[in-house]
Structure 1
């Protein structure tokens, strides 16, 4: 697929990517290379200029469910955490009682059950991002799109939320497209890291991580992890030979 905006900005060029059900894909590349545009197209928030994109549902009797987590939590400041998480179900006119139950279960999954009645201003940055993640997961999506969700958080909070996201994905089996600028985050979280060129974004390479998931925190200090980070650094800097064949690092 390709994407050119009305003002002539050519953002994506002939991007071709197939993602398996339950796969965790990290999208890595320089600022402005089209990673966020790729997510917005996948979510149906932006039309394609050329090509096609298909998101398949895990269930044959319904359209694919897609959840989206933005760079900032985008919570309604006047509403409780529970009401924020319940919002997608409210918009679908789900009965209040069942919607509340599902929203509370989503908050439990992200460790915010005790803050259902709090307002967003009473949450830390990490807690607000957990609430945003719970809102995206409350519809039980087939595909979860995350646009640098941890970028504004301190390093230890990023590590902790990354660990928690990996555990949730292992349990609930949703498919993930995760945009990040961090080589370390991509190398730790993903089954496969897809590397984009500068704008217009093209896929210039990918590296597959064969380490078992969910991964323990001490994986970050292992030699395979360091080798994977270095391989990603070479791809981003142009030092590696470009190839469409995935490289396995396990």
Structure 2
């Protein structure tokens, strides 16, 4: 086939499918998913379905081609870059044929998202391809809704720590932020608990596990929970300063929805 008659490149769509509840996908995102000839998503662990795949399962049909992509849970940059490159090549095989690919991304596509790296790799390999994004609900918003609290009010300054490896990071942020969100807090929870105890902030902090899913758990009044064993998708919200407009509810310990 000559270059002149080659089909136009397809478009890579990134759709944020929310934190877990399948009904939290936007109407625009749902339409994009259901119209997609190829639906891509991060593959699950040990052959099981990944979170994004579970979220969209009830919305897509058997006639749509499913494209699981491997993104390893490691921090080694070279390993990650190889995985992004390999995933971009898999997506590119369809884009070169003029076929669109929709990538389902847990949470929001621009908030610490795998789609960011995939889209960058696709743009580098296939500059002719278009990339479009459709936003979704990210976990801090879902966690605040689950707890029945506003995340911020008035002039509150919000800080988000994607993963904490040094307590100095949290201490520094506490000096200027009114609200702090700590993502994936499980691996450092006990150390953070001690710091919050010293700062007398345990009563104004809460943990949400797997927000909006059937496995959701909410821990309030963390004075009672110094030794929590938390899964990977656990989030801690700290209200450094509590205003009248953002009064925390009475402590209820652990609740499930």
On whether the aligned pair clears a TM of 0.5, the verdict is no
TM-score by length of 1: 0.29
TM-score by length of 2: 0.29
**The structure with more radius of gyration:** 2
RCO higher in structure (CA 8 A, sep ≥6): 1
Q: 1 or 2, which has the higher strand percentage?
A: 2
